[in-house]
Amino acid sequence: MNNICVFGLGYIGLPTAAMFAHHGANVVGVDVNQHAVDTINQGKIHIVEPGLEAIVKQAVDNGRLKASLTPVHSDAYLIAVPTPFKGDDHTPDLSYIQAVSKALAPLLEKGDVVILESTSPVGATEQMVEWLAASRPDLTFPKYHEPDTEADIYMWLIVLSVCYQARWSKNSFLTTVSLVV
Ligand SMILES: NC(=O)c1ccc[n+]([C@@H]2O[C@H](COP(=O)([O-])OP(=O)(O)OC[C@H]3O[C@@H](n4cnc5c(N)ncnc54)[C@H](O)[C@@H]3O)[C@@H](O)[C@H]2O)c1
């Protein structure tokens, strides 16, 4: 898996993108923030993260990491955009993930991997599958209720907490990975 596209170059996405590049992947980091894109492409960082700038600079200098406002086709897509609460009832705002789904859908090809790293409520991956599938009726996506059915696109949700129940399907088509930290 050599080509990776990371959506959201903030406190989660940028270190993740930089480490992928540091370990030899070709990474395009996508952000809607022009200042972030320009700063990263100069080998600098726009966030406070000790030690990160040197890794970003090296990755940009050797051509492994490039920031952009627009995504490119990749083998894997990692999504690290915000998921804030909205309103008084603390409903999670999935509009950032929806925007990424819209940008990502036209690029998908059979065998691609989509990883949702944004903190998400239960059901967010299935919601994302619905958004992607609506744009790409030519591809098949994992269905939670049919975990053993082969699909064109692999979907993962990464959760670095014990908040969500781990869900694992035999063929890893729709997977929640829970890591206790
Ligand atoms: N999975 C985990 O273990 C884990 C751990 C910590 C945080 N998170 C989650 O990761 C997500 C990102 O957190 P963060 O601290 O990096 O946020 P952040 O605000 O530092 O960065 C988010 C970035 O996404 C960009 N963005 C917004 N909309 C975009 C779009 N449509 N396309 C591309 N880029 C877009 C913003 O400009 C910003 O640079 C949040 O949901 C957070 O809760 C996950």
pLDDT digits (tens, 9 = 90+) for 53-67: 999 999 999 999 999
**Containing H/E element for 92?**
strand 91-92
Order of all β-strands in the sheet with 174-178: 65-68, 26-30, 3-7, 76-79, 113-116, 154-159, 174-178
Higher pLDDT: 168 or 27? It is 27
Residue range(s) of every CATH 3.40.50.720 domain in the chain: 81-178
Is the shortest distance between the CB of 83 and ligand 1 below 6 Å? Answer: yes
pLDDT of residue 140: 95
pLDDT in tens, 87-139: 888 889 999 999 999 999 999 999 999 999 999 888 899 999 999 999 999 99
Nearest CA to ligand 1 atom 43: 119
Torsion angles phi and psi, residue 5, rounded to 5: -115, 125
pLDDT of residue 141: 93
Q: Count Cβ atoms within 10 A of the Cβ of residue 93 and give its class: 0-12 exposed, 13-18 middle, 19 or more buried.
A: middle
Long-range contacts of 10-13 (CB under 8 A, 24+ apart): 10/36, 10/47, 10/80, 10/82, 11/47, 11/49, 12/80, 12/117, 13/78, 13/80, 13/81, 13/117
Is the shortest distance between the CB of 92 and ligand 1 below 6 Å? Answer: no
Predicted structure pTM score = 0.90
98 C-alpha to ligand 1 centroid (Å): 13
pLDDT in tens, 10-53: 999 999 999 999 999 999 999 999 999 999 999 999 999 999 99
Which ligand 1 atom sits nearest the alpha carbon of residue 12?
A: 16
Give me the CATH code for the 81-178 domain, please.
Answer: 3.40.50.720
